[in-house]
Protein backbone atom coordinates (compact mmCIF):
# COMPACT_ATOMS: atom_id res chain seq x y z
CA UNK A 1 0.00 0.00 0.00
CA UNK A 2 1.53 3.34 -1.04
CA UNK A 3 1.26 6.84 0.43
CA UNK A 4 -1.84 7.81 -1.53
CA UNK A 5 -3.65 4.57 -0.71
CA UNK A 6 -2.86 5.23 2.96
CA UNK A 7 -4.25 8.77 2.57
CA UNK A 8 -7.42 7.42 0.98
CA UNK A 9 -7.74 4.84 3.73
CA UNK A 10 -7.32 7.60 6.35
CA UNK A 11 -10.10 9.52 4.60
CA UNK A 12 -12.38 6.47 4.77
CA UNK A 13 -11.50 6.01 8.44
CA UNK A 14 -12.75 9.56 9.05
CA UNK A 15 -16.13 8.62 7.57
CA UNK A 16 -16.10 5.43 9.65
CA UNK A 17 -15.34 7.52 12.73
CA UNK A 18 -18.38 9.73 12.02
CA UNK A 19 -20.60 6.63 11.75
CA UNK A 20 -19.22 5.16 14.99
CA UNK A 21 -19.71 8.49 16.73
CA UNK A 22 -23.37 8.67 15.73
CA UNK A 23 -23.91 5.09 16.91
CA UNK A 24 -22.21 5.89 20.21
CA UNK A 25 -24.41 8.95 20.70
CA UNK A 26 -27.48 6.83 20.06
CA UNK A 27 -26.28 4.18 22.52
CA UNK A 28 -25.59 6.69 25.29
CA UNK A 29 -28.94 8.42 24.77
CA UNK A 30 -30.67 5.03 24.88
CA UNK A 31 -28.85 4.13 28.09
CA UNK A 32 -29.85 7.39 29.76
CA UNK A 33 -33.48 7.00 28.73
CA UNK A 34 -33.48 3.40 29.96
CA UNK A 35 -32.23 4.56 33.35
CA UNK A 36 -34.88 7.28 33.48
CA UNK A 37 -37.58 4.80 32.47
CA UNK A 38 -36.52 2.51 35.33
CA UNK A 39 -36.78 5.43 37.71
CA UNK A 40 -40.21 6.22 36.24
CA UNK A 41 -41.25 2.63 36.95
CA UNK A 42 -39.80 2.86 40.45
CA UNK A 43 -42.04 5.83 41.28
CA UNK A 44 -45.43 5.01 39.71
CA UNK A 45 -47.74 7.97 39.47
CA UNK A 46 -51.54 7.75 39.76
CA UNK A 47 -53.09 7.54 36.31
CA UNK A 48 -49.72 7.27 34.53
CA UNK A 49 -49.56 4.74 31.71
CA UNK A 50 -46.79 2.12 31.68
CA UNK A 51 -45.27 3.67 28.57
CA UNK A 52 -45.89 7.22 29.70
CA UNK A 53 -42.18 8.07 29.87
CA UNK A 54 -41.63 7.52 26.15
CA UNK A 55 -44.89 9.22 25.21
CA UNK A 56 -44.33 12.34 27.28
CA UNK A 57 -42.24 15.45 26.93
CA UNK A 58 -39.71 14.23 29.50
CA UNK A 59 -38.31 11.67 27.04
CA UNK A 60 -37.54 14.37 24.48
CA UNK A 61 -36.09 16.76 27.05
CA UNK A 62 -33.75 14.07 28.40
CA UNK A 63 -32.75 13.04 24.86
CA UNK A 64 -32.05 16.62 23.78
CA UNK A 65 -30.27 17.40 27.03
CA UNK A 66 -28.02 14.35 26.74
CA UNK A 67 -27.19 15.06 23.10
CA UNK A 68 -26.50 18.69 23.95
CA UNK A 69 -24.13 17.67 26.74
CA UNK A 70 -22.22 15.20 24.55
CA UNK A 71 -21.98 17.55 21.57
CA UNK A 72 -20.95 20.46 23.79
CA UNK A 73 -18.09 18.36 25.15
CA UNK A 74 -16.91 17.50 21.64
CA UNK A 75 -17.17 21.08 20.40
CA UNK A 76 -15.30 22.35 23.45
CA UNK A 77 -12.46 19.92 22.78
CA UNK A 78 -12.43 20.81 19.07
CA UNK A 79 -12.10 24.48 20.02
CA UNK A 80 -9.24 23.66 22.40
CA UNK A 81 -7.46 21.82 19.56
CA UNK A 82 -8.20 24.39 16.86
CA UNK A 83 -4.48 25.10 16.34
CA UNK A 84 -3.69 21.43 15.78
CA UNK A 85 -0.79 19.61 17.39
CA UNK A 86 0.56 22.78 19.01
CA UNK A 87 -2.71 23.14 20.94
CA UNK A 88 -2.48 19.55 22.14
CA UNK A 89 1.13 20.01 23.26
CA UNK A 90 0.18 23.15 25.19
CA UNK A 91 -2.80 21.39 26.81
CA UNK A 92 -0.48 18.62 28.05
CA UNK A 93 2.13 21.06 29.33
CA UNK A 94 4.74 19.69 26.91
CA UNK A 95 7.94 21.71 26.46
CA UNK A 96 9.28 22.33 22.96
CA UNK A 97 12.88 21.29 22.42
CA UNK A 98 14.82 24.34 21.29
CA UNK A 99 16.83 24.01 18.10
CA UNK A 100 19.95 25.06 20.04
CA UNK A 101 19.27 22.89 23.12
CA UNK A 102 22.37 22.07 25.14
CA UNK A 103 20.93 18.88 26.65
CA UNK A 104 22.63 15.82 25.04
CA UNK A 105 19.46 13.68 25.10
CA UNK A 106 17.41 16.43 23.49
CA UNK A 107 20.08 17.04 20.83
CA UNK A 108 20.13 13.31 20.08
CA UNK A 109 16.34 13.30 19.60
CA UNK A 110 16.48 16.36 17.33
CA UNK A 111 19.24 14.73 15.25
CA UNK A 112 17.17 11.56 14.81
CA UNK A 113 14.07 13.56 13.84
CA UNK A 114 16.13 15.73 11.45
CA UNK A 115 17.50 12.62 9.70
CA UNK A 116 14.03 11.13 9.33
CA UNK A 117 12.62 14.39 8.00
CA UNK A 118 15.41 14.93 5.46
CA UNK A 119 15.12 11.31 4.31
CA UNK A 120 11.34 11.55 3.95
CA UNK A 121 11.47 14.91 2.17
CA UNK A 122 9.19 16.62 4.67
CA UNK A 123 9.63 19.52 7.06
CA UNK A 124 10.83 18.51 10.51
CA UNK A 125 7.88 18.31 12.92
CA UNK A 126 7.99 20.57 15.95
CA UNK A 127 9.38 18.36 18.71
CA UNK A 128 8.30 18.41 22.35
CA UNK A 129 9.19 16.58 25.55
CA UNK A 130 6.53 15.68 28.14
CA UNK A 131 8.10 16.42 31.54
CA UNK A 132 7.37 14.35 34.61
CA UNK A 133 6.40 11.24 32.62
CA UNK A 134 8.76 8.37 33.49
CA UNK A 135 7.12 5.86 31.15
CA UNK A 136 8.33 5.35 27.58
CA UNK A 137 5.83 6.77 25.12
CA UNK A 138 5.45 9.16 22.18
CA UNK A 139 2.76 10.41 19.84
CA UNK A 140 2.22 12.65 16.81
CA UNK A 141 -0.71 14.88 15.91
CA UNK A 142 -1.56 17.63 13.45
CA UNK A 143 -3.91 18.55 10.62
CA UNK A 144 -1.41 17.62 7.86
CA UNK A 145 2.04 15.97 7.64
CA UNK A 146 3.68 19.39 7.27
CA UNK A 147 1.92 20.70 10.40
CA UNK A 148 2.56 17.66 12.61
CA UNK A 149 4.12 17.79 16.07
CA UNK A 150 6.03 14.99 17.79
CA UNK A 151 5.82 14.61 21.59
CA UNK A 152 8.16 12.25 23.47
CA UNK A 153 8.02 11.50 27.18
CA UNK A 154 10.90 12.36 29.48
CA UNK A 155 11.21 8.66 30.26
CA UNK A 156 11.81 7.81 26.60
CA UNK A 157 14.60 10.39 26.36
CA UNK A 158 16.25 9.08 29.53
CA UNK A 159 15.95 5.33 28.94
CA UNK A 160 16.29 4.74 25.19
CA UNK A 161 19.57 4.61 23.29
CA UNK A 162 19.89 6.12 19.84
CA UNK A 163 18.81 3.01 17.89
CA UNK A 164 15.80 2.48 20.14
CA UNK A 165 14.86 6.16 19.91
CA UNK A 166 15.16 5.91 16.12
CA UNK A 167 12.78 2.93 16.16
CA UNK A 168 10.19 4.90 18.15
CA UNK A 169 10.56 7.98 15.93
CA UNK A 170 10.26 5.81 12.79
CA UNK A 171 7.04 4.33 14.20
CA UNK A 172 5.65 7.84 14.73
CA UNK A 173 6.82 8.99 11.28
CA UNK A 174 4.83 6.11 9.83
CA UNK A 175 1.71 7.67 11.37
CA UNK A 176 2.65 11.03 9.82
CA UNK A 177 3.25 9.55 6.38
CA UNK A 178 0.22 7.25 6.51
CA UNK A 179 -2.20 10.10 7.19
CA UNK A 180 -2.98 9.16 10.81
CA UNK A 181 -2.08 12.51 12.38
CA UNK A 182 -5.26 14.29 11.34
CA UNK A 183 -7.64 11.57 12.46
CA UNK A 184 -5.89 11.51 15.87
CA UNK A 185 -7.20 15.01 16.62
CA UNK A 186 -10.61 14.34 15.09
CA UNK A 187 -11.01 11.18 17.13
CA UNK A 188 -9.98 13.03 20.29
CA UNK A 189 -12.53 15.79 19.67
CA UNK A 190 -15.31 13.43 18.60
CA UNK A 191 -15.02 11.31 21.73
CA UNK A 192 -14.39 14.12 24.20
CA UNK A 193 -18.03 14.58 25.13
CA UNK A 194 -18.63 10.85 25.54
CA UNK A 195 -15.41 10.26 27.48
CA UNK A 196 -15.90 13.29 29.72
CA UNK A 197 -19.25 11.96 30.87
CA UNK A 198 -17.66 8.51 31.08
CA UNK A 199 -15.01 9.79 33.47
CA UNK A 200 -17.76 11.29 35.62
CA UNK A 201 -19.49 7.92 35.64
CA UNK A 202 -16.24 6.16 36.62
CA UNK A 203 -15.77 8.65 39.45
CA UNK A 204 -19.27 7.89 40.73
CA UNK A 205 -18.64 4.13 40.58
CA UNK A 206 -15.48 4.45 42.69
CA UNK A 207 -17.22 6.47 45.40
CA UNK A 208 -18.02 4.36 48.43
CA UNK A 209 -21.65 4.44 49.60
CA UNK A 210 -22.35 6.73 52.51
CA UNK A 211 -25.17 6.82 55.01
CA UNK A 212 -26.16 10.27 53.73
CA UNK A 213 -26.70 8.91 50.26
CA UNK A 214 -28.78 5.99 51.57
CA UNK A 215 -31.00 8.41 53.49
CA UNK A 216 -31.56 10.65 50.48
CA UNK A 217 -33.59 7.93 48.79
CA UNK A 218 -34.90 7.84 45.28
CA UNK A 219 -33.58 11.13 43.87
CA UNK A 220 -29.95 10.16 44.41
CA UNK A 221 -30.65 6.65 43.11
CA UNK A 222 -32.05 8.14 39.91
CA UNK A 223 -29.02 10.44 39.53
CA UNK A 224 -26.73 7.48 40.18
CA UNK A 225 -28.44 5.33 37.56
CA UNK A 226 -28.25 8.09 34.94
CA UNK A 227 -24.58 8.82 35.56
CA UNK A 228 -23.69 5.14 35.74
CA UNK A 229 -25.48 4.48 32.43
CA UNK A 230 -23.67 7.37 30.78
CA UNK A 231 -20.36 6.34 32.33
CA UNK A 232 -20.55 2.68 31.31
CA UNK A 233 -22.03 3.24 27.88
CA UNK A 234 -19.86 6.25 27.03
CA UNK A 235 -16.59 4.80 28.23
CA UNK A 236 -17.28 1.41 26.67
CA UNK A 237 -18.27 2.77 23.27
CA UNK A 238 -15.48 5.37 23.30
CA UNK A 239 -12.86 2.70 23.86
CA UNK A 240 -14.53 0.39 21.36
CA UNK A 241 -14.31 3.10 18.68
CA UNK A 242 -10.66 3.72 19.52
CA UNK A 243 -9.87 0.02 19.31
CA UNK A 244 -11.63 -0.29 15.94
CA UNK A 245 -9.72 2.68 14.52
CA UNK A 246 -6.30 2.23 16.11
CA UNK A 247 -5.17 -1.36 16.57
CA UNK A 248 -4.50 -2.27 12.93
CA UNK A 249 -2.66 0.97 12.20
CA UNK A 250 -0.31 0.30 15.15
CA UNK A 251 0.69 -3.02 13.59
CA UNK A 252 1.29 -1.22 10.29
CA UNK A 253 3.38 1.46 12.03
CA UNK A 254 5.63 -1.18 13.63
CA UNK A 255 6.16 -2.91 10.29
CA UNK A 256 6.85 0.42 8.58
CA UNK A 257 9.35 1.43 11.30
CA UNK A 258 11.34 -1.75 10.62
CA UNK A 259 11.12 -1.11 6.89
CA UNK A 260 12.31 2.49 7.33
CA UNK A 261 15.30 1.82 9.61
CA UNK A 262 16.28 -1.74 8.60
CA UNK A 263 17.03 -2.16 12.33
CA UNK A 264 14.27 -4.16 14.04
CA UNK A 265 16.52 -4.46 17.08
CA UNK A 266 15.97 -0.76 17.83
CA UNK A 267 12.18 -1.01 17.87
CA UNK A 268 12.30 -4.36 19.70
CA UNK A 269 14.66 -2.88 22.32
CA UNK A 270 12.21 -0.04 23.03
CA UNK A 271 9.30 -2.49 23.39
CA UNK A 272 11.32 -4.74 25.72
CA UNK A 273 12.23 -1.78 27.94
CA UNK A 274 8.56 -0.89 28.18
CA UNK A 275 7.63 -4.50 28.99
CA UNK A 276 10.31 -5.07 31.62
CA UNK A 277 10.74 -1.54 32.96
CA UNK A 278 8.53 1.33 34.03
CA UNK A 279 5.98 0.68 31.30
CA UNK A 280 4.36 3.29 29.06
CA UNK A 281 1.41 4.55 31.13
CA UNK A 282 1.00 8.30 31.53
CA UNK A 283 0.28 10.13 34.76
CA UNK A 284 -1.47 12.93 32.89
CA UNK A 285 -5.19 13.47 33.42
CA UNK A 286 -5.42 13.34 29.61
CA UNK A 287 -4.12 9.75 29.41
CA UNK A 288 -7.57 8.48 28.38
CA UNK A 289 -7.83 11.08 25.62
CA UNK A 290 -4.40 10.07 24.28
CA UNK A 291 -4.88 6.30 24.46
CA UNK A 292 -5.32 5.93 20.69
CA UNK A 293 -2.30 8.12 19.86
CA UNK A 294 0.56 6.75 21.95
CA UNK A 295 3.45 4.59 20.81
CA UNK A 296 2.21 2.17 23.49
CA UNK A 297 -0.71 2.00 25.93
CA UNK A 298 -1.20 5.17 27.97
CA UNK A 299 -3.33 3.59 30.71
CA UNK A 300 -4.42 0.20 32.03
CA UNK A 301 -8.00 -1.06 31.83
CA UNK A 302 -10.06 -4.22 31.79
CA UNK A 303 -11.46 -6.08 28.76
CA UNK A 304 -8.07 -5.51 27.09
CA UNK A 305 -8.70 -8.06 24.35
CA UNK A 306 -11.83 -6.24 23.18
CA UNK A 307 -11.00 -2.61 23.92
CA UNK A 308 -7.20 -2.31 23.58
CA UNK A 309 -6.02 0.39 21.16
CA UNK A 310 -2.67 -1.42 20.70
CA UNK A 311 -1.66 -5.05 20.28
CA UNK A 312 -0.03 -6.41 23.45
CA UNK A 313 3.72 -5.91 23.79
CA UNK A 314 4.29 -9.66 23.41
CA UNK A 315 2.24 -9.65 20.20
CA UNK A 316 4.26 -6.74 18.83
CA UNK A 317 7.55 -8.42 19.75
CA UNK A 318 6.37 -11.67 18.22
CA UNK A 319 5.49 -9.80 15.03
CA UNK A 320 9.12 -8.64 14.85
CA UNK A 321 10.04 -12.26 15.48
CA UNK A 322 13.01 -14.15 16.88
CA UNK A 323 14.07 -14.73 13.27
CA UNK A 324 13.34 -11.11 12.28
CA UNK A 325 10.33 -12.03 10.17
CA UNK A 326 9.67 -8.38 9.38
CA UNK A 327 13.20 -7.97 8.00
CA UNK A 328 12.82 -11.13 5.91
CA UNK A 329 9.60 -9.79 4.34
CA UNK A 330 11.27 -6.49 3.53
CA UNK A 331 14.27 -8.26 1.95
CA UNK A 332 12.00 -10.53 -0.06
CA UNK A 333 10.29 -7.48 -1.53
CA UNK A 334 13.57 -5.66 -2.11
CA UNK A 335 15.60 -8.53 -3.61
CA UNK A 336 12.90 -10.22 -5.68
CA UNK A 337 14.05 -9.81 -9.26
CA UNK A 338 10.61 -10.06 -10.92
CA UNK A 339 9.35 -7.13 -8.84
CA UNK A 340 9.40 -3.90 -10.83
CA UNK A 341 11.02 -0.80 -9.37
CA UNK A 342 8.51 1.26 -7.40
CA UNK A 343 6.92 4.07 -9.34
CA UNK A 344 7.67 7.57 -8.02
CA UNK A 345 4.36 7.95 -6.15
CA UNK A 346 5.19 4.78 -4.18
CA UNK A 347 8.29 6.57 -2.89
CA UNK A 348 6.11 9.30 -1.38
CA UNK A 349 5.83 8.72 2.35
CA UNK A 350 8.63 6.12 2.37
CA UNK A 351 12.09 6.02 3.88
CA UNK A 352 14.91 3.81 2.64
CA UNK A 353 18.61 3.14 3.26
CA UNK A 354 19.77 5.49 0.51
CA UNK A 355 17.80 8.46 1.77
CA UNK A 356 18.65 7.81 5.43
CA UNK A 357 22.32 7.52 4.46
CA UNK A 358 22.03 10.73 2.49
CA UNK A 359 20.51 12.52 5.48
CA UNK A 360 23.26 11.33 7.85
CA UNK A 361 25.99 12.29 5.38
CA UNK A 362 24.44 15.69 4.84
CA UNK A 363 24.33 16.46 8.56
CA UNK A 364 27.90 15.21 9.05
CA UNK A 365 29.39 17.15 6.14
CA UNK A 366 27.78 20.54 6.73
CA UNK A 367 30.30 23.07 8.08
CA UNK A 368 30.02 23.15 11.88
CA UNK A 369 29.40 26.90 11.96
CA UNK A 370 26.62 26.68 9.38
CA UNK A 371 24.96 23.73 11.12
CA UNK A 372 24.97 25.62 14.43
CA UNK A 373 23.62 28.75 12.74
CA UNK A 374 20.74 26.73 11.27
CA UNK A 375 19.61 25.96 14.82
CA UNK A 376 19.51 29.61 15.92
CA UNK A 377 16.74 31.93 14.78
CA UNK A 378 18.95 34.71 13.43
CA UNK A 379 21.19 32.27 11.57
CA UNK A 380 18.22 30.37 10.12
CA UNK A 381 16.70 33.65 8.88
CA UNK A 382 19.97 34.60 7.21
CA UNK A 383 20.23 31.18 5.52
CA UNK A 384 16.62 31.45 4.31
CA UNK A 385 17.27 34.85 2.73
CA UNK A 386 20.53 33.65 1.16
CA UNK A 387 18.78 30.61 -0.37
CA UNK A 388 15.98 32.75 -1.81
CA UNK A 389 18.44 35.24 -3.32
CA UNK A 390 20.43 32.56 -5.12
CA UNK A 391 23.06 34.23 -7.32
CA UNK A 392 21.69 37.73 -6.79
CA UNK A 393 23.94 40.08 -4.84
CA UNK A 394 22.59 40.31 -1.27
CA UNK A 395 21.46 43.64 0.19
CA UNK A 396 23.80 45.55 2.51
CA UNK A 397 22.23 44.06 5.65
CA UNK A 398 23.46 40.60 4.56
CA UNK A 399 26.95 41.75 3.55
CA UNK A 400 28.27 42.57 7.01
CA UNK A 401 29.90 40.52 9.75
CA UNK A 402 28.62 37.06 10.61
CA UNK A 403 25.74 37.30 8.14
CA UNK A 404 28.15 37.81 5.25
CA UNK A 405 30.08 34.70 6.32
CA UNK A 406 26.88 32.64 6.37
CA UNK A 407 25.83 33.91 2.94
CA UNK A 408 29.27 32.95 1.59
CA UNK A 409 29.03 29.47 3.14
CA UNK A 410 25.59 28.88 1.61
CA UNK A 411 26.81 30.08 -1.78
CA UNK A 412 29.89 27.83 -1.61
CA UNK A 413 27.77 24.73 -1.05
CA UNK A 414 26.17 25.10 -4.48
CA UNK A 415 22.59 24.62 -5.56
CA UNK A 416 21.98 20.94 -4.83
CA UNK A 417 21.76 21.50 -1.08
CA UNK A 418 19.26 24.33 -1.28
CA UNK A 419 16.26 22.19 -0.37
CA UNK A 420 17.83 20.35 2.59
CA UNK A 421 19.17 23.65 3.95
CA UNK A 422 15.72 25.16 3.50
CA UNK A 423 14.13 22.29 5.45
CA UNK A 424 16.59 22.73 8.32
CA UNK A 425 16.15 26.50 8.40
CA UNK A 426 12.35 26.28 8.37
CA UNK A 427 12.36 23.74 11.20
CA UNK A 428 14.08 26.35 13.38
CA UNK A 429 11.99 29.28 12.18
CA UNK A 430 8.76 27.44 12.98
CA UNK A 431 9.79 27.85 16.62
CA UNK A 432 9.93 31.63 16.24
CA UNK A 433 7.30 33.62 18.17
CA UNK A 434 4.01 33.93 16.24
CA UNK A 435 4.46 37.68 15.87
CA UNK A 436 7.93 37.22 14.31
CA UNK A 437 6.94 34.84 11.51
CA UNK A 438 4.93 37.42 9.50
CA UNK A 439 7.95 39.73 9.70
CA UNK A 440 10.20 37.01 8.29
CA UNK A 441 7.78 36.36 5.42
CA UNK A 442 7.44 40.08 4.71
CA UNK A 443 11.22 40.46 4.48
CA UNK A 444 11.41 37.36 2.29
CA UNK A 445 8.78 38.75 -0.10
CA UNK A 446 10.60 42.08 -0.21
CA UNK A 447 13.90 40.38 -1.11
CA UNK A 448 12.29 38.29 -3.85
CA UNK A 449 9.69 40.75 -5.13
CA UNK A 450 11.41 41.39 -8.45
CA UNK A 451 12.40 37.78 -9.13
CA UNK A 452 9.49 35.74 -7.82
CA UNK A 453 7.23 36.23 -10.84
CA UNK A 454 9.98 35.44 -13.36
CA UNK A 455 12.16 32.89 -11.52
CA UNK A 456 10.38 29.61 -10.80
CA UNK A 457 13.12 28.47 -8.42
CA UNK A 458 12.68 31.60 -6.33
CA UNK A 459 8.93 31.03 -6.36
CA UNK A 460 9.36 27.39 -5.25
CA UNK A 461 11.47 28.30 -2.23
CA UNK A 462 9.15 31.14 -1.26
CA UNK A 463 6.06 28.96 -1.65
CA UNK A 464 7.52 26.30 0.66
CA UNK A 465 8.50 28.94 3.22
CA UNK A 466 5.05 30.52 3.15
CA UNK A 467 3.40 27.13 3.60
CA UNK A 468 5.38 26.41 6.78
CA UNK A 469 5.67 29.88 8.32
CA UNK A 470 2.33 31.35 7.33
CA UNK A 471 -0.70 31.40 9.59
CA UNK A 472 -2.37 27.97 9.83
CA UNK A 473 -5.24 27.63 7.43
CA UNK A 474 -8.61 27.73 9.17
CA UNK A 475 -10.01 25.15 6.81
CA UNK A 476 -7.86 22.53 5.11
CA UNK A 477 -8.55 21.85 1.43
CA UNK A 478 -11.28 19.25 1.17
CA UNK A 479 -10.60 16.38 -1.24
CA UNK A 480 -13.75 17.12 -3.20
CA UNK A 481 -12.42 16.88 -6.78
CA UNK A 482 -12.92 13.34 -8.09
CA UNK A 483 -11.95 13.74 -11.77
CA UNK A 484 -8.68 14.86 -13.34
CA UNK A 485 -10.69 16.41 -16.16
CA UNK A 486 -12.05 18.95 -13.68
CA UNK A 487 -8.54 20.37 -13.15
CA UNK A 488 -7.21 19.99 -16.70
CA UNK A 489 -6.33 23.70 -16.97
CA UNK A 490 -4.38 23.54 -13.71
CA UNK A 491 -2.48 20.40 -14.76
CA UNK A 492 -1.60 22.10 -18.04
CA UNK A 493 -0.14 25.13 -16.19
CA UNK A 494 1.89 23.07 -13.69
CA UNK A 495 3.29 20.60 -16.23
CA UNK A 496 4.18 23.36 -18.66
CA UNK A 497 6.18 25.05 -15.89
CA UNK A 498 7.97 21.77 -15.12
CA UNK A 499 8.72 21.16 -18.79
CA UNK A 500 10.29 24.61 -19.26
CA UNK A 501 12.27 24.25 -16.02
CA UNK A 502 13.86 21.08 -17.35
CA UNK A 503 14.68 22.28 -20.85
CA UNK A 504 14.47 25.71 -22.42
CA UNK A 505 14.42 24.25 -25.96
CA UNK A 506 10.86 24.21 -27.22
CA UNK A 507 11.16 20.88 -29.05
CA UNK A 508 12.36 18.84 -26.08
CA UNK A 509 10.08 20.69 -23.65
CA UNK A 510 7.10 19.93 -25.89
CA UNK A 511 7.94 16.24 -26.26
CA UNK A 512 8.46 15.86 -22.50
CA UNK A 513 5.17 17.62 -21.80
CA UNK A 514 3.26 15.40 -24.24
CA UNK A 515 4.71 12.16 -22.83
CA UNK A 516 4.07 13.16 -19.21
CA UNK A 517 0.51 14.38 -19.70
CA UNK A 518 -0.66 11.51 -21.93
CA UNK A 519 -3.71 10.10 -20.17
CA UNK A 520 -3.92 13.02 -17.74
CA UNK A 521 -5.10 15.73 -20.12
CA UNK A 522 -7.77 15.64 -22.82
CA UNK A 523 -6.48 15.42 -26.39
CA UNK A 524 -5.44 18.73 -27.87
CA UNK A 525 -3.95 20.28 -24.73
CA UNK A 526 -0.59 21.79 -25.70
CA UNK A 527 2.47 23.06 -23.88
CA UNK A 528 1.87 26.62 -22.70
CA UNK A 529 4.36 29.37 -23.47
CA UNK A 530 6.62 30.34 -20.53
CA UNK A 531 4.77 33.60 -19.98
CA UNK A 532 1.51 31.64 -19.49
CA UNK A 533 2.79 29.39 -16.68
CA UNK A 534 4.29 32.01 -14.38
CA UNK A 535 4.14 31.77 -10.56
CA UNK A 536 1.05 33.99 -10.33
CA UNK A 537 -0.79 31.25 -12.26
CA UNK A 538 0.90 28.39 -10.42
CA UNK A 539 -0.42 29.44 -6.99
CA UNK A 540 -4.15 29.05 -7.76
CA UNK A 541 -3.50 26.01 -9.96
CA UNK A 542 -1.77 24.10 -7.16
CA UNK A 543 -4.44 25.22 -4.67
CA UNK A 544 -7.04 23.47 -6.82
CA UNK A 545 -4.87 20.37 -7.35
CA UNK A 546 -4.61 20.08 -3.55
CA UNK A 547 -8.33 19.33 -3.55
CA UNK A 548 -7.88 16.13 -5.57
CA UNK A 549 -8.67 12.90 -3.74
CA UNK A 550 -5.52 11.04 -2.59
CA UNK A 551 -5.78 8.31 -5.23
CA UNK A 552 -5.85 10.96 -7.98
CA UNK A 553 -2.75 12.71 -6.63
CA UNK A 554 -0.70 9.56 -7.20
CA UNK A 555 -0.85 9.51 -11.05
CA UNK A 556 -0.33 13.28 -11.06
CA UNK A 557 2.95 12.99 -9.11
CA UNK A 558 4.00 9.92 -11.13
CA UNK A 559 3.63 11.93 -14.33
CA UNK A 560 5.48 14.93 -12.86
CA UNK A 561 8.37 12.70 -11.77
CA UNK A 562 8.45 11.03 -15.20
CA UNK A 563 8.80 14.49 -16.73
CA UNK A 564 11.71 15.27 -14.37
CA UNK A 565 13.39 11.91 -15.13
CA UNK A 566 12.77 11.97 -18.89
CA UNK A 567 16.42 12.68 -19.72
CA UNK A 568 17.84 10.44 -16.97
CA UNK A 569 19.06 13.44 -14.96
CA UNK A 570 17.50 15.46 -12.18
CA UNK A 571 18.31 19.14 -12.53
CA UNK A 572 18.13 21.36 -9.49
CA UNK A 573 15.38 23.49 -11.04
CA UNK A 574 13.24 20.42 -11.72
CA UNK A 575 13.84 18.91 -8.28
CA UNK A 576 12.93 22.12 -6.47
CA UNK A 577 9.76 22.59 -8.47
CA UNK A 578 8.74 18.97 -7.98
CA UNK A 579 9.45 19.17 -4.23
CA UNK A 580 7.47 22.41 -4.03
CA UNK A 581 4.57 20.76 -5.86
CA UNK A 582 4.61 17.75 -3.50
CA UNK A 583 4.93 19.95 -0.41
CA UNK A 584 1.95 22.06 -1.43
CA UNK A 585 -0.01 18.86 -2.10
CA UNK A 586 0.94 17.57 1.41
CA UNK A 587 2.81 14.65 -0.16
CA UNK A 588 6.40 14.55 1.21
CA UNK A 589 8.86 13.66 -1.56
CA UNK A 590 12.19 12.05 -0.55
CA UNK A 591 15.27 13.98 -1.75
CA UNK A 592 16.77 11.18 -3.89
CA UNK A 593 15.24 9.83 -7.08
CA UNK A 594 15.91 6.59 -8.99
CA UNK A 595 17.81 7.03 -12.22
CA UNK A 596 16.44 5.88 -15.52
CA UNK A 597 17.75 2.59 -16.78
Just list the catalytic residues. 172
Cα 228 from Cα 207, distance rounded (Å): 12
Contact 561, 578 (CB under 8 A): yes
Count CA within 13 A, CB hemisphere, residue 405.
Answer: 8
CA-nearest of 66, 67, 41, 65 to 54 is 41
User: Residue-wise over 24-51: b if at least 16 C-beta within 10 A, else e?
Assistant: bbebbbebbbebbbebbeeeeeeeeeee
149-153 and 126-130 beta bridge pairing: parallel
DSSP-derived secondary structure letter, 503: -
Contact 448, 462 (CB under 8 A): yes
Contact 347, 176 (CB under 8 A): no
CA distances from 261 to 337, 442, 528 (A): 22, 39, 43
DSSP-derived secondary structure letter, 485: G
Angular region, 131: left φ>0, alpha ψ -120 to 50, beta rest? beta
The length of the chain in residues reads 597
Cα 199 from Cα 77, distance rounded (Å): 15
Cα 163 from Cα 263, distance rounded (Å): 8
Count CA within 13 A, CB hemisphere, residue 436.
Answer: 9
Cα 85 from Cα 87, distance rounded (Å): 5
Contact 153, 133 (CB under 8 A): yes
DSSP-derived secondary structure letter, 375: T
In what helix (H) or strand (E) does residue 130 lie, and over which residues does it extend?
strand 126-130
Amino acid sequence: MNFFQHQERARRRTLLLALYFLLALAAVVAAVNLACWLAWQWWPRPGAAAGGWFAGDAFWWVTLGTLGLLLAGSLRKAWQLRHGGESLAAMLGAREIASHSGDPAERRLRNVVEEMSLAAGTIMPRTYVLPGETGINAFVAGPTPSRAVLVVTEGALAQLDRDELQGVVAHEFSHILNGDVRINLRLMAALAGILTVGKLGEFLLHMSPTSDRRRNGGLLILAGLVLMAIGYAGLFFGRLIKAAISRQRERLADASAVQFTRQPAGLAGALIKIRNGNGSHLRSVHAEDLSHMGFAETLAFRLRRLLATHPTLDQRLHALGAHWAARARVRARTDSSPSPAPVPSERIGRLDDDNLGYARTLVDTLPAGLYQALHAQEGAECVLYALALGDVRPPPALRRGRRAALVDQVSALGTRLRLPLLDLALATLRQAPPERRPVILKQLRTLTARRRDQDLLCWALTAIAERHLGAPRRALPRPDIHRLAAVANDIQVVFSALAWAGDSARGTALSGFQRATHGLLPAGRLLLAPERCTPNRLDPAIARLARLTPLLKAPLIDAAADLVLADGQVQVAEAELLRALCTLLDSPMPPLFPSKG
